[in-house]
Structure 1
């Protein structure tokens, strides 16, 4: 099985924390949709006719597209790729785009999973992040999505917003749990260099992220979501039984996927490649039937390290036999002393053929993964 990701590189306005590739100039949306359609045709052999089990519209803000544009893209995929039965079709969306009418149209096009970028229900926090929607729009769009037939909804939340205490975070979780979404993705606020927050941090206009404060809010997140029946199946992702993101899980399990659009990444099971992050250059290349990408040829060590970095963030863990059989890396033998320390401190367990991190180990997932890297 494989997945297709389509990057829609447009937003109404720039969130102060975001460093994804996007443009607030929507003049070329129609031209971009045509280019995405063309690239889908040009790339039809990349996945070697593996059945497509997931389709994901990301960005940017793909909910800016019309129902007609989304349907056109889906029709191109269906005409050029083998589609598995009951594919997961996800659309990332902002609450201010999701009117009742728009939701009805989305549902009719075949979108069966929504990922709504709510981030917070607190008006002051939304203003701090420069989000375009209001608390009322967030609640209304969720209600309308349910009425339109969507029974698989994910919401995004951000924590570690500077505050004197955890009261706002508890209130956000209260409201999120009251909605009873099938899935919640929650991330700590990070300050990236090429963002408004990054510029403000250099000028001393905002404080740096308080790591202890962030860790405390992560613990609150784990406790409250676990108590409410959500399973943490990846460090930042939680779901009710049976509602994990099949598309994102494919990334973490090293399954093949094709990325369409500027800045989109692809993986054919052996090597990676990524399209240029420049809308005009992308459009010009596609107009000449050229795919503007750079290849990333992975070494054996690269594949081992990527596998550890992604799988140890998940509930499934790293398959020790896969490491040994595919990449000749005997983790138990090569890292015995370090693994013994992890097991003794209850940061990890060995479950059959899999190395899995415990709840406390997941707090240190990136550090543990890098310590286990094949160098």
Structure 2
């Protein structure tokens, strides 16, 4: 169930909360970048050891700024160098302002069958301080069009926003549900350093929501979506009729994936690698056949801790066979497991460790408390 992630480091403008790797001044080298990514796909074709590909994911940045020919080049490059299952999920992250009938038709022809649309909020005041490029009406129009063209839809929203009440959140969710997406991702706003939002908070221009308000909205989110027929299969992800995101699910389950493009990460089960997070240096290294990524061999401690961190966030939990046996039954780990079970945060079966609903609110903290560090 291997997958390929393509990082497109282009954005029309910088959202105030985003700390991902991207550039807003890309027009003069976009063709060169696409060519470099295609070359990386060819160079790294042996990374997944001929495993069949079940997901291709265009992330960013904003992949929807690419034109049809650029997307087609990238997909064709993957098809030429990897064994891709005919029923693979091919997802494109898209901003509402990039979506129109012509582009949707072109994306379909290029093989894209799933769109992850970054709406974030249906309130104008939120879109303004976020510095989003789209309007509320553009978001609604984009969702209607995408549904009419038969794409499987995932909609992204953010909660825990400044000056954002529980009623505001309910109104946002109601507008999302009006379009009946198969999938919904809801992320709690975090104020990342070196972002415009962080600077605005420091200057007192924006007052972030407190932890109590964010927790209240999370609890409401889970209960409200479950009542509407959506299953919470990961802390921030919900699906109807088991329409789980194949790419992300495989990541959480510890499947192998190759990441191409500047700053992209890859994982083969035993090592993790990451590409240069600089567009100019990345293209130059690819063109000159120089090293463009670093590799870290994962110790049994790394493998153990990463499996806990990602697996505990999901409905499937952490399969015990994924955890190195040398650490699974240590006194330190067993003591932590028993304590969280006694507190009602964790369940254990013969095969897996699972968080309860109560535990999901503290997922990352529970995982980190269970980490085992090398002596």
TM category (shorter chain) comes to over 0.9
Partner of 1:241: 241
Query: In terms of mean alpha carbon deviation, does 213-222 or 332-341 score higher?
Result: 332-341
Partner of 2:368: 370
Deviations 1:146-166 (A, max 9, x none): 22121x110000001112632
Distance (Å, rounded) in 1 between the aligned partners of 2:106 and 2:302: 43
Number of residues paired by the alignment?
372
Where does the alignment leave 5 or more consecutive residues of structure 2 unmatched?
none
Partner of 1:55: 56
Distance (Å, rounded) in 2 between the aligned partners of 1:154 and 1:332: 41
Contact 1:190 1:209 in 2 (8 A): no
Query: Secondary structure in 1 aligned to 2:327?
Result: coil
Partner of 1:280: 280
Residue 340 of structure 1 and its aligned partner are, at CA, apart by 2.4
Residue 334 of structure 1 and its aligned partner are, at CA, apart by 4.0
Deviations 1:18-54 (A, max 9, x none): 0000000022111111111111111111111111111
Residue 296 of structure 1 and its aligned partner are, at CA, apart by 1.8
Partner of 1:136: 137
Distance (Å, rounded) in 2 between the aligned partners of 1:199 and 1:34: 36
Partner of 2:250: 250
Partner of 2:34: 33
Distance (Å, rounded) in 2 between the aligned partners of 1:203 and 1:135: 28
Equivalent residues in 2 for 1:189-228, closer than 5 Å: 189-228=189-228
Contact 1:39 1:291 in 2 (8 A): no
Deviations 1:250-274 (A, max 9, x none): 1111111101000000111111010
Contact 1:95 1:137 in 2 (8 A): yes
Are 1:16 and 2:16 an aligned pair? Answer: yes
Equivalent residues in 2 for 1:111-190, closer than 5 Å: 111-150=112-151, 152-163=152-163, 165-190=165-190
Contact 1:21 1:59 in 2 (8 A): yes
Partner of 1:306: 306
Q: Decide whether aligned partners of structure 1 residues 178 and 373 sit closer, same or farther in structure 2, where only a CA change above 3 A counts.
A: same
Match of 1:360 among 355, 358, 361: 358
Contact 2:307 2:322 in 1 (8 A): no
Partner of 2:296: 296
Q: Provide the aligned C-alpha RMSD in A.
A: 1.3
Are 1:87 and 2:88 an aligned pair? Answer: yes
Where does the alignment leave 5 or more consecutive residues of structure 1 unmatched?
none
Are 1:339 and 2:340 an aligned pair? Answer: no
Query: Secondary structure in 2 aligned to 1:48?
Result: coil
Residue 228 of structure 1 and its aligned partner are, at CA, apart by 0.6
Contact 2:19 2:195 in 1 (8 A): yes
Contact 1:160 1:217 in 2 (8 A): yes
Residue 201 of structure 1 and its aligned partner are, at CA, apart by 2.1
Distance (Å, rounded) in 2 between the aligned partners of 1:242 and 1:263: 31
Query: Secondary structure in 2 aligned to 1:121?
Result: coil
Distance (Å, rounded) in 2 between the aligned partners of 1:333 and 1:85: 47
Query: In terms of mean alpha carbon deviation, does 287-296 or 301-310 score higher?
Result: 287-296
Residue 103 of structure 1 and its aligned partner are, at CA, apart by 0.7
Partner of 1:269: 269
Q: Decide whether aligned partners of structure 1 residues 322 and 8 sit closer, same or farther in structure 2, where only a CA change above 3 A counts.
A: closer
Query: In terms of mean alpha carbon deviation, does 328-337 or 251-260 score higher?
Result: 328-337
> TM-score w.r.t. structure 2 length?
0.96
Query: Secondary structure in 2 aligned to 1:339?
Result: helix
Contact 2:333 2:372 in 1 (8 A): no
Q: Decide whether aligned partners of structure 1 residues 78 and 331 sit closer, same or farther in structure 2, where only a CA change above 3 A counts.
A: same
